[in-house]
Amino acid sequence: MSERTTISEHYGKLQDHDRRWDIAFWQAAGPEAIFAAAWEMILDYRLVHDHDASEPRLQRTVEHFGPA
């Protein structure tokens, strides 16, 4: 069974844009879609600026953990 895709569009002049449509769009999309879009932007940035298409790794350096 195929997944249905909904397309949303907003038309208007840039100088009249007040971000209400953007806010409503992302609130309707939910946190998973917001995180997925942010992650895609991170990967795109790395590809364009670092010429690296691999997924970034978490930094695993610990300087101090526990009571002093």
DSSP of 38-51: HHHHHHHHIIIII-
Examine the pLDDT at 55 and tell me if it is beyond 90: no
- Residues 1-53 pLDDT 10s: 667 888 888 888 888 888 899 999 999 999 999 999 998 998 898 889 888 87
> Is the CB of residue 12 less than 8 Å from the CB of residue 29?
no
Q: What is the DSSP letter of 14?
A: G
What integer pLDDT is reported at residue 28 of this predicted model? 93
Give dist(CA 3, CA 41) in Å, integer: 23
According to the model, what pLDDT value does residue 68 have? 67
3-state class of 15 per DSSP? helix
Confidence at 59, pLDDT banded by 50, 70, 90: low
As a whole number of angstroms, the distance between CA 54 and CA 46 comes to 8
Whether this model's pTM surpasses 0.85: no
